[in-house]
Amino acid sequence: MRIEGKIVLITGASEGIGAACAKEFAASGAKLSLTARSEEGLRRAGGDDALVTAGDITDEATRRRVVERTLERYGAIDILINNAGVGIYQPTWEMPMAEARYLMELNFFAPLGMTQLVAPHMRARKSGMIVNVGSIGGKVVLPWMTLYSVTKFALGALTEGQRMELRRDGIRTMIVCPGYVKTGFQKNVRAGQTPGAVANARKFAITAEECAEAIRRGVERDARTVVTPRSGWLLVAAMRLFPALVESRMAQINGTA
């Protein structure tokens, strides 16, 4: 898909990958509609030209307001990037159910809700692209973030199913699976801490800007899946070929074996 002149709606756009996507797509000539809880962060990310709508994306009224304002300003939505998300470092057996439900609400139901609002407009125009920002944890379960991985597996399944559902309407879908990205993700988790071995791997992490560039390139070539960095595919392949070995290593990293 050619990005120049396209209308791009990005959730979670006040910092991290979302803010980097705002700058990357704007540099490619897109017109932006941005949403997140921080209006100040949105204005920093989008500059003077972007439409910004501050609010909690888990709230249906916020989602409707974002979509309605975007259509009022631009008349269309060509690309939806469901980026907003949160993590939690806490075992499944002790996580409060309220936290588990919130994790699913933001990481899965909010993207689903946004898609349900945007898809009818894309279907009417017979074109569009839905980009869901998942995680490498949506391909290989990270035992230090098991329920986070569950939400990202669900998001990946949603993306693949919608690709088939919406294909005849000219709408494409893409799942993005970043590995370790240098953002504020770790400081914004709901509870717990990163295992030491994982934290030490930060020196091998990619930047939010590199991730955003990979997303933009994926959109341009109509990719189905973007794993960034590409070395993440090695972990995915290892899990498929040698599951017991990978699970044992993951358990050691998590401190459970």
* pLDDT at residue 180, rounded to an integer: 83
**pLDDT tens-digit map of 77-101:** 999 999 999 988 888 999 999 999 9
Annotate the chain with DSSP letters as a single string.
---TT-EEEEESTTSHHHHHHHHHHHHTT-EEEEEES-HHHHHHHHTTTSEEEES-TTSHHHHHHHHHHHHHHHS---EEEE---------TTTS-HHHHHHHHIIIIIHHHHHHHHHHHHHHHHT-EEEEEE--GGGTS--GGGHHHHHHHHHHHHHHHHHHHHHGGGTEEEEEEEE-SEESSTGGG-SS----HHHHHGGGGPEEHHHHHHHHHHHHHTT-SEEEESTTHHHHHHHHHH-HHHHHHHHHHHHT--
Q: Are 132 and 82 in contact (CB under 8 A)?
A: yes
Q: Would the pLDDT of 121 be above 90?
A: yes
Q: Would the pLDDT of 146 be above 80?
A: yes
Q: What is the mean pLDDT of residues 155-160?
A: 98
CATH of residue 61 = 3.40.50.720
Tell whether the torsion through CA atoms of 29, 30, 33 and 39 is positive or negative: negative
- My answer on whether omega of the bond before 195 falls inside 30° of 0, hence cis, is no
In a domain, 238, yes or no: no
Residue 187 pLDDT grade (very low, low, confident, very high; cuts 50, 70, 90): low
* pLDDT at residue 257, rounded to an integer: 42
In a domain, 242, yes or no: no
Say how many C-beta atoms besides its own lie within 10 A of residue 170's C-beta. Answer: 13
Give how many domains the chain has, as a whole number: 1
Q: Give the domain range for residue 32.
A: 7-231
In a domain, 221, yes or no: yes
Say how many C-beta atoms besides its own lie within 10 A of residue 46's C-beta. Answer: 21
Q: Angle at Cα 43 formed by Cα 78 and Cα 5, nearest 5°?
A: 25
Q: Which of 74, 102, 148, 180 is catalytic?
A: 148
Token representation of residue 122? 């894309």
Token representation of residue 217? 């390139």
In a domain, 252, yes or no: no
* Average pLDDT in the chain: 92
Residue reference for tokens 């910004």: 52
In a domain, 250, yes or no: no
Q: What is the CA radius of gyration of the chain?
A: 18
In a domain, 253, yes or no: no
Active site residue 148: yes
Q: Would the pLDDT of 181 be above 90?
A: no
Q: Which residue has the higher pLDDT, 13 or 192?
A: 13
In a domain, 49, yes or no: yes
Q: Would the pLDDT of 193 be above 80?
A: no
In a domain, 178, yes or no: yes
